[in-house]
Structure 1
C-alpha cells in the first residue's frame, strides 16, 4: 500500500506519551526519521487538502460565531455505528475528511486516489456537499490565502496544541497568530518516489523545491490583510517567511541527501509543544530543540511518539511524511484548486514534462538562503507573475504539464482547468491576487462569495 494513505493522519489525537518504553537516543531518532520520511515505491497516489475561510453571506465583514459553523456541520451525516474506521467527523460522499482550523477555517482532505482525475472528481463532490451544508446556515466558503476582509481574528479552538502554538509564536511577533487565524492554503500530496531513477524520491524532492517559487507566484492569492493591500501578492507566504525559521525554512537541499538532511532538520527544530495528560498545559521549554531534549533538557526523556508528534509541528515548504506534502500554495477561489493539482501531477508523473520543467527552473536565480527566505521566493511572493523570469518559467511548466495531461487518459477536466488558468493568469502576467486588487480598486467585494455549484 502506498505511503500516501497516511495523508489524513490527525495531529490532534490525544494519546498520552508512554513512559514504559526505553529512552530514545539521537542515533535511534535519526535512524527512525530516515526510515519513515521518504517511503519508497513507484509513485501512484495523490491527495489534496483544500482550505477555505467561512463568511456570513449577508454580512461577510463580521466574524462567524463558532456555533453557527457547528450547526451547519451537524446537519451532515456521521458514523455512529463505526462502519467507517478513522472517521470521527461528518461523512462525505467521496470520503474526504473535514477538519476545523484555529481561526474558523475549514479544510477538506481527500482520500488518496489512484489518479489525479479521480482525486478531483471526489473532492469536487465533497466540496459541493460542504457548500450546501453551510448555505443552509447562511454561510459561504471563501478561497483566499489570507482573509481579505477586516474581520476580527479570533482563536476558536482551545486544544492545548493550539494554545501552545500561540505561546511559542508570540515570542517573535504577530506572524504566528496571523498564520493560525488569518491564512488558508492548498496542499497537494504525492508519493515520495522510488529509490533510484527519474522517479526517485531525491529527484522529486529537488524538482518540487525548484518548482516552489513558480507555485507561489502563479497561484498567489493573498494580497490583502485586514482589508488593506500589503504590497505582496502572496501575503500568506510572507507571513510564513517571518515565523520560526527552525520549522518553516526548507532543510538543506544541496548535497543530495534528503533523508539525512530531514532527520537533522527535525532534531534541530525547536519544540513547539510537549504533550501532557490530566489537562496540563502543552507549552514547551523556551528555545529547546528536540536534540537538546534528547540530551537531557526537559522534564522527562522523549519517546518515539513524541518525535513523531514533533514532526507534525514542522511546516517547511515541502514536508516529507512518507509522502511529500506541498505547503506553499495559497488557497484558491471556487474550484481553483484544480489547476495546482493538474500542474503538480502533470509535471511529476511524466518524465518528459519533468525534464522540461527542470530545464526551465534551473535558469532561475538561486540564493544561499533557503526557501522561503531566499530572494527568489521573496520575488515570487511580492511580484508573482509580474516577475519576467518567474513568468517565463511558469509558462514553460504549464505548457509541459498540459502536454503531459493530454497523454494521460481521464485527465480532461484537469487539462481544461490548467489551460484556462494559464491563459487567464500567467499568459497575461497576472495571478489570482490581481483579481482581488482590481476589485478593491473598483470598490467591490475583493473575493466573490463562492455560491456556484460544483
Structure 2
C-alpha cells in the first residue's frame, strides 16, 4: 500500500539525465512482463561473443589508499567515461573497447561483440595492455585478485545511481558496499540463440555456473583477512541483496520458459530507485509490480522498466544478449580462459549438451563452489570433464595458440589436481547450495 512506502530522496547531479521523454507508460503487469521478455531475450543465430573485464586498482607505494577521481581522469584522458568527467569525449580504446569506472574506482573494459573468438581475445588483450599503460602513468596497478585484500569499501564515484544503490544495499547489511566497491569480475557475453535453443543455452550457462565459479575462484582475502571463502566476491554479492542477486532455482529445460521466468522475477523484485527530474527516490519494499499497480503514484514507463532491469545482478542476466557474471576477476591474461571455455562449450549444441550433462551432479552448488572451490569433490569431477571438453574444442573455434596453451596448463595443473585425495576435499551434503553463510566483511 502506498501509505506504507518509505522513500529516501537523493539529489541528482545537475548533469544527470532525466528519464526518457517518450517511452510508453505501463499500466498492466502483463504488458510489463511481455516487454521484459521481448527486450531481454533477442532471438537469432548465436554468432557473437564479448567480454567485460574489471580490475581493482592500487598504488604499490600506498596500497591502502583508494584510487581518486583526479588520478583516474588524468590517466584515462579522452577515454574517461562521462560519469567520471562529464566533459570527456569518452573515446573507445584503440581496438574498440569502452572504458567505465565502478563505484569504488574499479576500472572496467567492455569489448564490442565480435563473431571471431580469436579476434576478440587479441583485440581485448591489446586494449587491456593499452588501458593498463595509461593507468601506470599515475602509478595505478591492477590487483591480481577479485576482492580488495586490504582496504575497507569506499565509494569514490559520486553519481545518483551509486548513491541510490548504496542506500538500498545499506538497508540489507554491510555487504552491498563491499560488493560495489571492493570486488571485480570477468563477465562473458553471448547470444541467447535461436528460439528453439534459448532454453537449453540458458540452462547450460546456469549449470556451468558452480563449476566455473569454483575453478576461477580468486578472492580468498577481503578487507585484511581471510574470509573462509575461495570467492569472497561471490559471497559478498549474494549477501548484498538476495532478491536482486541470487541465482534462480535449478532449471527444468523440458518445461522452462526463461523469458517468462525472468520477466516474473523482474516484476517481483523491489525497485532500487525511481529517477525523478532533480531528485531520485529510493523506495522501501516496493516491487516493480507494485509500482505498475499504483504504489508510487505516477505509473512507470518502459524506460523505468529497462532501468530497473539494470539494477538486478544475478549470476546470469539477459540483456538482449546473455551476460555471464559469476566468474571472479583473474590475474594477468587469465581473463581469456573463462571466455574461451564458455565460447568452446556453447559453439556446438551437442557439446553444450555434454557439458550440461557433466554438470548435473553439481547443479545448485553455488555456495559450495564459492566456499570450497575445486576442493569440493563433486565440483572437481564435473570440472575435469568440462575443461577437457573445452580444451578439445578450442582449435575448432579459432582460439589463439596462447589461449590453447594457457587453458591446457590450467586444466593439467589446477583442474585435474582438483580430483584430490578425499582427506583434502570437501563434499558435505549438508551445505546449503543457495544461501551463503559466514562472515565476508
Give the TM-score of the pair, scaled to structure 2. Answer: 0.86
Query: How far is 1:157 from its partner?
Result: 1.2
User: Which runs of structure 2 are paired with 1:30-41 in the superposition (5 Å)?
Assistant: 30-41=33-44
Describe the shift of the 1:296–1:67 C-alpha distance in structure 2 as closer, same or farther (beyond 3 A): same
Distance 1:231 1:78 in 2: 37
Bigger mean CA deviation after superposition, 28-37 or 258-267: 28-37
User: Which runs of structure 2 are paired with 1:290-369 in the superposition (5 Å)?
Assistant: 290-364=288-362, 366=363
Bigger mean CA deviation after superposition, 297-306 or 237-246: 237-246
- What's 1:387 paired with? 376
Taking only aligned residues, the RMSD between alpha carbons, in angstroms, comes to: 2.2
Offset from partner CA, 1:330-377 (integer Å, 9 cap, x none): 01111111110111111011234223212211133x4xxxxxxx5x11
Distance 1:396 1:50 in 2: 26
Query: How far is 1:78 from its partner?
Result: 8.0
2:218 maps to 1:221: yes
- What's 2:437 paired with? none
Gaps of 5+ in 2: 1-14, 82-87, 421-441
Describe the shift of the 1:427–1:410 C-alpha distance in structure 2 as closer, same or farther (beyond 3 A): closer
- What's 2:194 paired with? 194
Describe the shift of the 1:77–1:357 C-alpha distance in structure 2 as closer, same or farther (beyond 3 A): closer
- What's 1:96 paired with? 97
2:211 maps to 1:208: no
- What's 1:69 paired with? 72
User: Which runs of structure 2 are paired with 1:391-410 in the superposition (5 Å)?
Assistant: 391-410=380-399
SS at structure 2 position matched to 1:383: helix
**Residues 69 and 157 of structure 2 are in contact (CA less than 8 Å); yes or no, is this contact kept in structure 1?**
no
Query: How far is 1:77 from its partner?
Result: 6.0
SS at structure 1 position matched to 2:129: helix
- What's 1:111 paired with? 112
Offset from partner CA, 1:58-90 (integer Å, 9 cap, x none): 22233233211221112x5689xxxxxxx9414
Offset from partner CA, 1:226-271 (integer Å, 9 cap, x none): 1210000001111122122221123453341101101100000000
Distance 1:214 1:77 in 2: 36
Distance 2:134 2:207 in 1: 39
Bigger mean CA deviation after superposition, 226-235 or 354-363: 354-363
SS at structure 2 position matched to 1:283: strand
Bigger mean CA deviation after superposition, 186-195 or 20-29: 20-29
Distance 1:323 1:210 in 2: 18
SS at structure 2 position matched to 1:335: helix
**Residues 209 and 326 of structure 2 are in contact (CA less than 8 Å); yes or no, is this contact kept in structure 1?**
yes
- What's 1:415 paired with? 404
Distance 1:330 1:20 in 2: 36
SS at structure 2 position matched to 1:426: helix
- What's 2:245 paired with? 248
Query: How far is 1:105 from its partner?
Result: 0.3
**Residues 27 and 299 of structure 2 are in contact (CA less than 8 Å); yes or no, is this contact kept in structure 1?**
yes
Query: How far is 1:22 from its partner?
Result: 4.2
**Residues 117 and 397 of structure 2 are in contact (CA less than 8 Å); yes or no, is this contact kept in structure 1?**
no
Offset from partner CA, 1:20-39 (integer Å, 9 cap, x none): 85443212111111212211
Offset from partner CA, 1:389-447 (integer Å, 9 cap, x none): 1111111101111111122335433322211222232122299xxxxxxxxxxxxxxxx
SS at structure 2 position matched to 1:215: helix
**Residues 51 and 143 of structure 1 are in contact (CA less than 8 Å); yes or no, is this contact kept in structure 2?**
no
**Residues 117 and 413 of structure 1 are in contact (CA less than 8 Å); yes or no, is this contact kept in structure 2?**
no
Query: How far is 1:276 from its partner?
Result: 1.2
Gaps of 5+ in 1: 1-11, 80-86, 367-373, 432-454
> What is the count of residue pairs matched by the alignment?
398
- What's 1:84 paired with? none
Distance 1:152 1:389 in 2: 34
Give the TM-score of the pair, scaled to structure 1. Answer: 0.83
Query: How far is 1:129 from its partner?
Result: 0.5
SS at structure 1 position matched to 2:284: coil
Describe the shift of the 1:359–1:218 C-alpha distance in structure 2 as closer, same or farther (beyond 3 A): same
Distance 1:20 1:43 in 2: 29
Describe the shift of the 1:261–1:13 C-alpha distance in structure 2 as closer, same or farther (beyond 3 A): farther
SS at structure 2 position matched to 1:336: helix
Describe the shift of the 1:342–1:135 C-alpha distance in structure 2 as closer, same or farther (beyond 3 A): same
- What's 1:174 paired with? 174
SS at structure 1 position matched to 2:322: strand
Query: How far is 1:283 from its partner?
Result: 2.9
**Residues 377 and 419 of structure 2 are in contact (CA less than 8 Å); yes or no, is this contact kept in structure 1?**
no
Distance 1:355 1:20 in 2: 40
